[in-house]
Amino acid sequence: MTTLPVLEDLPPLAGKRVLVRCDFNAPIRTTADGTRVIEDDFRLVESVPTLSWLVENGATVVVCTHLGRPNGAVDPGLSVAPIEERLRELVPGVEIMENLRFDAGEESNDEAFVDRIVDGFDFYVNDGFAVSHRAHASVVGPPKRLPSVAGRVLAHEVEVLSGLMTEPARPFVAVVGGAKVADKLGIVRSLSSKVDTLIVGGGMAFTFLAAQGHAVGASLLDPSSIDACAALLAGPAHIVLPSDCVALGPDKVTVASFGLEIPDGYAALDIGPESAARFASIIASAKTVLWNGPMGVFEDARFAKGTETVARAIADGPGFSVVGGGDSVSAINHLGLQSQIDYMSTGGGASLEFLENGDLPGLAALRDSPFREALG
């Protein structure tokens, strides 16, 4: 993969208009009096170096983003107004376009919509790593119309994730969890050939355990993924699964611990203490750790211990640590461990797809831009 063009490759920007695609799809809460308040401005704060650099170099900067799922229709409840307000505090002078997904042309990658959003601009910057796995109009369209480069967020994330896949310090341990086993099988497969140890916890572990013939009770199970899990377990990869769990009873009140056989009606919602300690000790000896997906239903304090133990092991460990996925990142933030993590990926699905395929449509669009030659 050839390298991405970056901000420094842009020609002088004085008097130029630059369109910047960010992913400012921040969680927003509506207060009792109807005010919409940003709950987590991490993605806005993260974009400051890119936006400030452009402003300091004399450009007029207009940001565009999607927010929520308006499905191609104008929805005042999903306007970017709260984002605009916070953005102006962070980088004075920057403008923002209204929610891209108010127009169906964004998600359908409509050419006429691309023409509309690039109208009046001289350059395009993609700084929305987290949407770069989507072939949406604002992600893949502008590089066909304008000289285009990667912003700092995008370039940095690609650098970190590429480094993991090409030259990780070993042992390289990946910890995957969360709820979506079918969605994550591709990444699990791809990681299994690159890591020294692959730890599988969280809800997805039970499809693996079922593939080994264990009784999983009422735990999360994806029957359509059992064969794929069995194939991975039979392969050369070193895959580590939980050996105990904390489960919620059929009365939805009783919480009980079990080993590998979970009784009917019980749903395992966290890994048990033995598993957590075992995972932590593997993590402690890793030189590189990648974590995606919590070890349990950590939103509920009764099932948060496994995730906390793993998160602390990653934070305390000497290895280079990368945490990706919205819920995993929020678990780290909730525990106040963010300063002990080397890289927190905002990418979610995009990070996983990049780790799986080594490329994304938004990156290819920048590399294949017909204006590439015009850049430095």
Q: Residue 293: name its binding partner from ligand ADP, Mg ion, none (Cβ under 5 to 8 Å by kind).
A: ligand ADP
Residue 107 vs 327, nearer CB to Mg ion: 327
Q: Is 27 in the site for Mg ion (CB under 5 A)?
A: no
142-to-3, 4, 113, 268, 362 alpha-carbon distances in Å: 19, 15, 10, 47, 10
Task: Yes or no: say if 169 and 30 are a contact pair by the CB < 8 Å rule.
Answer: no
For Mg ion, which stretch binds (CB under 5 A), given 21-29, 236-244, 257-265, 325-333? 325-333
One-letter identity of residue 55: V
Q: Which of 326, 343, 358, 374 binds Mg ion (CB under 5 A)?
A: 326
**Long-range pairs for 40-45: beta carbons < 8 A, 24 or more residues apart:** 40/330, 40/333, 41/86, 41/90, 42/329, 42/333, 42/346, 43/130, 43/346, 44/83, 44/86, 44/87, 44/90, 45/90
Q: Is 293 in the site for ligand ADP (CB under 6 A)?
A: yes
Phi, psi of 316 (to 5 degrees): -80, -20
**Cα–Cα nearest to 102, from 128, 81, 127:** 81
Residue 27 vs 49, nearer CB to Mg ion: 27
Q: Which of 23, 244, 327, 356 binds Mg ion (CB under 5 A)?
A: 327
Q: Residue 294: name its binding partner from ligand ADP, Mg ion, none (Cβ under 5 to 8 Å by kind).
A: ligand ADP
Only one residue has tokens 């799986």, namely 356
- Binders of ligand ADP among residues 261 to 280 (CB under 6 A) are 268-269
Task: Yes or no: say if 229 and 212 are a contact pair by the CB < 8 Å rule.
Answer: no
Q: Is 242 in the site for ligand ADP (CB under 6 A)?
A: no
Residue ranges in 193-344 assigned as alpha helix (H): 205-211, 226-234, 273-284, 305-316, 326-334
For Mg ion, which stretch binds (CB under 5 A), given 126-134, 249-257, 324-332, 367-375? 324-332
Q: Is 260 in the site for ligand ADP (CB under 6 A)?
A: no
**Contact string (CB under 6 A) for ligand ADP, positions 191-230, x = contact:** -----------xx----------------x----------
Q: Residue 297: name its binding partner from Mg ion, ligand ADP, none (Cβ under 5 to 8 Å by kind).
A: ligand ADP
Task: Yes or no: say if 128 and 154 are a contact pair by the CB < 8 Å rule.
Answer: yes
Site of interaction with ligand ADP (CB under 6 A): 177-180, 202-203, 220, 268-269, 292-294, 296-297, 299, 325-328
Binding site for Mg ion (CB under 5 A): 326-327
